[in-house]
Structure 1
Amino acid sequence: MSINLEQELKNKQNQNVSEYINKVLSLIEKEEINDVEAAWITKETVDGFREHVNPGFLAYRKTVTKDGQFAAVEWSDNGSCFKDVNGKEYIDCLGGFGIYNVGHRNPKVVKAVTDQLKRQALHSQDLLDPLRAMLAKILADITPGDLKYAFFTNSGTESVEAALKLAKMYSERTTFISTTRAFHGKSLGSLSGTAKGMFRKPFLPLIPGFRHVPFGDIDMMRKTFEVCASVGEDVAAVILEPIQGEGGIILPPENYLKQVRELCDQYGSLLIFDEVQTGMGRTGKMFAAELYEVVPDIICLAKAFGGGVMPAGAVVATENVFKSWFDNPFMHTTTFGGNPLACAAAIATIGVLIEEKLPERAAEVGAYFLEELKNAAKGHEDKVLEIRGQGLMIGIEFHQDEIGYDVSKGMFDRGVLVAGTLINSKTIRIEPALTISYDEVKKVVSTFKEVLEQIND
C-alpha cells in the first residue's frame, strides 16, 4: 500500500471517529432525547459491549432480568432513582453496591465538583494541593479513636492495597489473617485477602502470607495467631469487613470484633477495617467501627466516599502506623488519588451526611425497612431463608439461587433494581440511597411481596 493511500485511509478513519464523537457529545448535551435517539443509544451500547467491552455482561444481565430487558441502558438519575434510555424509572436498591449514600447526583456534591472544575481539575503532583489537606483534617476529626493521617485513592481495592503496604512497612511482618466470605477487591494484594475461590484461582499464586479463618469464629482466629507466632510468622494485621457485604450481608457475632481487637493488641498486630461498603453512614453510624465500639489501626474507605459523583477512596491510620511513610512520602503514590475534584466531592459528601443526619436516618429507615420486608416474607418461608441487616445494608437470603434470580427479575420488571452478592442470587442485597423516602420503601416492600406471591403461585 502506498504512503499516500495509507494516509488517505487514516484520514478517513479519523473523520469517521470525529463524527461519531460529535454525535455522542451532542447526545450528552441534550436534556431530553427522542425515541429514535434512544434506540440508537441502545443499539450502540449493546453492540459496543458485545464487540469491544465484554459480551459476558450481556449474558449476566439476561440472567437477572426479564425477556429483552438485559439491554436496558441507564441514562439519567436523581435522588433514589435512575431512568433508562427509554424513560422508565427504577428505584435503585443496589445503589452501585453502596455508592449512592447521599443519593444520585446530590446537588451539593455536584455543585462542589463543578465549582472546583471551574478553578482546577487536577493538580500538578508537585506543589501542595489544599483540598487534600482539608479533607485529611476532616477525616481525622470524624473517624473513631486516634486515626489521624490519610492517604487518598481512587477505589476500594486501591485503599486495601495501601493498607496492606502500610501494615507491612510498620512492622516488617508479612503474615495477614483474613476471613472466609471476605471481599476486599480484585487487584493482586486485595485479592489475596478476598475469599472467593472463583476470583482467586485463575491468578494463583497470589501474594504469600495470607491465611483465611471462618468469619465470626474467634477460637479459630486465636489458634491461628498462636500457630503463626509459634512458627515465626507473626501476624502483621487482621483485615476484616465489620459487616461482610459481598459475602451475603453477614453480621458479626456479639463481641467478635472486640475480641479480634484484643487479639491484635496481645500479639502486636494491626487491625484493618475494610469499610469500603459499610462506611459513610450506611449501617446507622458514620463508620461501622463506631457501631461495634472498636477502633481499628487502619480504616479503608471508598464507594460512597465520593458522593456517587467522583471515584474516591481513602486510608486513614494512626500516627504511630502512618509514620513509616514520613521519611519517604513517595513509597506509595497514585497519580489521581486525592485529586481536587475527588476531594471536593468527598468534602461535600461528608457535609451532607452530617448536616442531614443521614447515618441516623439510615438506622431509623433501615429498621423500618427490615421489619416490613420480614412481614412481607411471612407465609413464604419455603422460599425465604432469612432477612437480615443493619441500617440500610440489608440481605434477603433464599433457599436456592433460582428463587433469588426469579425475585430479582420480577422486581426489575416492576421498576426496582436489586442484585445478588458474589455473582449469585441466593442472597440479594438492599442498599438504597440513605435519602430513600418512606413511600419508596413501601413500594419496594409491596413489589417484593407481589413477586414472592407470583412465584409461589
Structure 2
Amino acid sequence: MRDAIDDSVRDDAAPSAARRSDRKHVLHSWSAHGTFEPIVIAGSEGAYFWDEDGRRWLDFSSQLVNVNVGHQHPKLIAAIRLQAEKLCTVAPYHANEATSEAARLIAELAPGDLNRVFFTNGGAEAVENAIRMARLHTGRHKVLTAYRSYHGATAGALAASGDPRRWPSEPGAPGIARFWGPYPYRSAFHADSAQEECERALAHLADTVMAEGAHAIAAVLLETVVGGNGILVPPDGYLQGVRALCDAHGILMIADEVMTGFGRCGEWFAVDRWNVVPDLITFAKGVNSGYVPLGGVIVSDAVAASFATRAYPGGLTYSGHPLACAAAVACIGIYKEENLIVRARRLGEEVIAPALRAMQARHPSIGDVRGLGAFWAIELVRDRATREPLVPFNASGPADAPMAEFAAACKQRGLWPFVVSNRLHIVPPLIIDEQALRDGLSIVDEALQVADRHCAG
C-alpha cells in the first residue's frame, strides 16, 4: 500500500511538534525515512479521519483493513476504559475474565470443532504459531503456501509469504514450498472458466504435494480470500478440494483469516461461505477492529490434544492481554447488536458490486472487478484486450506513477484509498453509512479518469 502522501495534499505551513518529532525519531514500516512524509492524524470518527489542519478523508481503507466497526466506537472505547480501571495487564499464565470470555466467544463463532484459542499480539505472530503447532502435531516440517499471499512481517510469516515483500529478507526460514492458487483473470493454468480454473489449480496443488512428498508436509497455509495480493475470491469447490487433499494425506489446513475474518467478507469467517472447516484459523485485525493489538490461532480439538499432556513450546508476554481481549468482547458484541455481518454482505451485493460493474462499463482502465461483502478490488489495466497491468509487477518510482497519480486524485477529493500494485481495494468500515459509501464510490468513479488516460486507444 502507498503510505506516502502526494505533494498536492501536503501542508506548506510550519511543521507541528508532532510532525517534527516524527521526522526526527520515528522509523516507519515499509518506508525510506528520508523521502517519507506522513500526515499527522489528529482525530477520527465512524468512517472518517482528519489531520491536524482539519482536512478530512472518507476511510476506504479501514486503515489497514482492520477498523471494521469504524473509528472511535463509543461502546468499544467504554469497554477498554472499564477494563483499564479493573485490570490493565496480567501475565499469560494466569486466567482472567476478559481473556476467557474473548476465547469463549471466538470459539463459539468458529466452525466445526475449533474450540481453543491461542492469543497473540497480531496476525504475523498468529501465523508463526499456527505453523509451529502444525509441525509439532504432525511431526513433519514442510509447509505449502501460495505465491500470491502475504502472511505477515515476522521472520517465519514473511518466509511463508509469496509476495515480493519477502525478497529483502531472504533466505528465510526453511521448509516452505510454494504453489499457484486460482486467479481466473490471470490464470496460471490457461483456464477458460471458473470451474476449469478450480480443477486445474487443485490438480497443480496435488502435483506439488506429490513432488514435495506428502509424508513431509505438515500444512497447507492459505488466505481464504487472498487479501493484499489482489482480493482473489476462490472459485466454488476450491477450498473444499484443498480440504479433501489435506485429509487424504494427513496434512493440516491452516486458513489465514487475519484480513477476512469477523465480517469483512459477509461471514464471521470467510470459510463459512464454503462450509469448510480448517484445522487452524489465524485471526487479528477485525477481532477488535485494531483498537488494541490482538491476534490469535483458533485450534481444533485434535491439534489441541497434542498439547494436553506436553507443554506447547511457545508464548508471548502479552498473550491474551486483558485490554485487548476486553476490546474483542465488546467488538463481537457490536457485530451482533448492529448486525454488521449481514450488513457487510448486503452492502457488497446491493451497493458495491453494482457500482463497480457500472464503472467497469464506463472506464477502459478497469480490467476486472471482484470481491465479497466489504472486500473488493478493481484491477486496472492499460489494455483490456491484452490485460497489460496499468503498472508493472512490483513497480516503484517512475514506473508506479500512474497508480500514484490515481491515488492522489482520490485523496484530493476527500477519499483515502487502499492502493496496491495495479489495484484499488474497496475495504471501508462495515459501519459506513450507505450514502457515504455511495459518495466514496462516486469519487472513485471520478478519479478513474486519471487511469483512463493511460489506456491504449
Aligned 8 A contact 2:111 2:277 in 1: yes
Which amino acid is 1:408 matched to?
Answer: A
1:283 — aligned with what? 265
The alignment status of 1:120 with 2:120, answered yes or no, reads no
Alpha-carbon spacing, 1:92–1:190, altered in 2? closer, same or farther (3 Å): same
Aligned 8 A contact 1:325 1:331 in 2: no
2:173 — aligned with what? 207
The alignment status of 1:343 with 2:309, answered yes or no, reads no
1:181 — aligned with what? 148
Which of 83, 86, 90 is the equivalent residue of 2:57?
90
Q: What is the rounded CA distance, in whole Å, between the counterparts of 2:64 and 2:362 in structure 1?
A: 29
Deviations 1:300-356 (A, max 9, x none): 000111223111111101111022223344521111121110110001111111221
Q: What is the rounded CA distance, in whole Å, between the counterparts of 1:132 and 1:270 in structure 2?
A: 27
Q: What is the rounded CA distance, in whole Å, between the counterparts of 2:256 and 2:167 in structure 1?
A: 22
Q: What is the rounded CA distance, in whole Å, between the counterparts of 2:356 and 2:379 in structure 1?
A: 12
Aligned 8 A contact 1:298 1:316 in 2: yes
* Offset of residue 56 of structure 1: 8.3
1:410 — aligned with what? 409
Which amino acid is 2:412 matched to?
Answer: D
| Greater fraction of residues in helix | 1
Aligned 8 A contact 2:92 2:319 in 1: no
Aligned 8 A contact 2:220 2:253 in 1: yes
Q: Structure 2: state its 5+ residue gaps.
A: 1-11, 183-200, 382-389, 392-400
2:246 — aligned with what? 264
The alignment status of 1:439 with 2:438, answered yes or no, reads no
* Offset of residue 93 of structure 1: 0.5
Q: What is the rounded CA distance, in whole Å, between the counterparts of 2:29 and 2:150 in structure 1?
A: 21
Deviates more, 1:113-122 or 1:363-372: 363-372
Q: Structure 1: state its 5+ residue gaps.
A: 1-37, 64-69
Deviations 1:140-159 (A, max 9, x none): 21101110110001110011
The alignment status of 1:138 with 2:121, answered yes or no, reads no
* Offset of residue 71 of structure 1: 4.7
2:115 — aligned with what? 148
Deviates more, 1:214-223 or 1:327-336: 327-336
Q: What is the rounded CA distance, in whole Å, between the counterparts of 1:174 and 1:302 in structure 2?
A: 25
Q: Secondary structure at the match of 2:144?
A: strand
Q: What is the rounded CA distance, in whole Å, between the counterparts of 2:226 and 2:346 in structure 1?
A: 21
1:241 — aligned with what? 223
Q: Secondary structure at the match of 2:306?
A: helix
Which amino acid is 1:297 matched to?
Answer: D
2:42 — aligned with what? 75
Q: What is the rounded CA distance, in whole Å, between the counterparts of 1:160 and 1:298 in structure 2?
A: 10
Aligned 8 A contact 2:123 2:283 in 1: yes
Q: Secondary structure at the match of 1:395?
A: strand
Which amino acid is 1:168 matched to?
Answer: R
Aligned 8 A contact 2:41 2:52 in 1: yes
- Give TM-score, length-normalised by structure 2: 0.84
Q: CA RMSD in A?
A: 2.2
Q: Secondary structure at the match of 1:325?
A: coil
1:380 — aligned with what? 363
Aligned 8 A contact 2:231 2:371 in 1: yes
* Offset of residue 252 of structure 1: 1.0
* Offset of residue 378 of structure 1: 2.6
Aligned 8 A contact 2:147 2:180 in 1: yes
* Offset of residue 451 of structure 1: 1.8
Aligned 8 A contact 1:376 1:445 in 2: no
Which amino acid is 1:379 matched to?
Answer: R
2:210 — aligned with what? 226
* Offset of residue 62 of structure 1: 8.0
* Identity level (%): 31
* Offset of residue 50 of structure 1: 3.5
Q: What is the rounded CA distance, in whole Å, between the counterparts of 2:233 and 2:263 in structure 1?
A: 16
Aligned 8 A contact 2:288 2:332 in 1: no
2:197 — aligned with what? none
Alpha-carbon spacing, 1:114–1:415, altered in 2? closer, same or farther (3 Å): same
Which amino acid is 1:195 matched to?
Answer: G
Q: What is the rounded CA distance, in whole Å, between the counterparts of 1:164 and 1:184 in structure 2?
A: 11
1:315 — aligned with what? 297
1:21 — aligned with what? none
Which of 363, 377, 380 is the equivalent residue of 1:398?
380
Alpha-carbon spacing, 1:317–1:76, altered in 2? closer, same or farther (3 Å): same
Which amino acid is 2:258 matched to?
Answer: V
Aligned 8 A contact 1:122 1:340 in 2: yes
Aligned 8 A contact 2:405 2:450 in 1: no
Deviations 1:150-185 (A, max 9, x none): 000111001101101110110110011101111001
Which amino acid is 2:449 matched to?
Answer: E
Which amino acid is 2:361 matched to?
Answer: K
Q: What is the rounded CA distance, in whole Å, between the counterparts of 2:34 and 2:271 in structure 1?
A: 35
Alpha-carbon spacing, 1:58–1:155, altered in 2? closer, same or farther (3 Å): closer
Which amino acid is 1:275 matched to?
Answer: E
Aligned 8 A contact 1:105 1:308 in 2: no
Which amino acid is 1:229 matched to?
Answer: G
* Offset of residue 126 of structure 1: 4.1
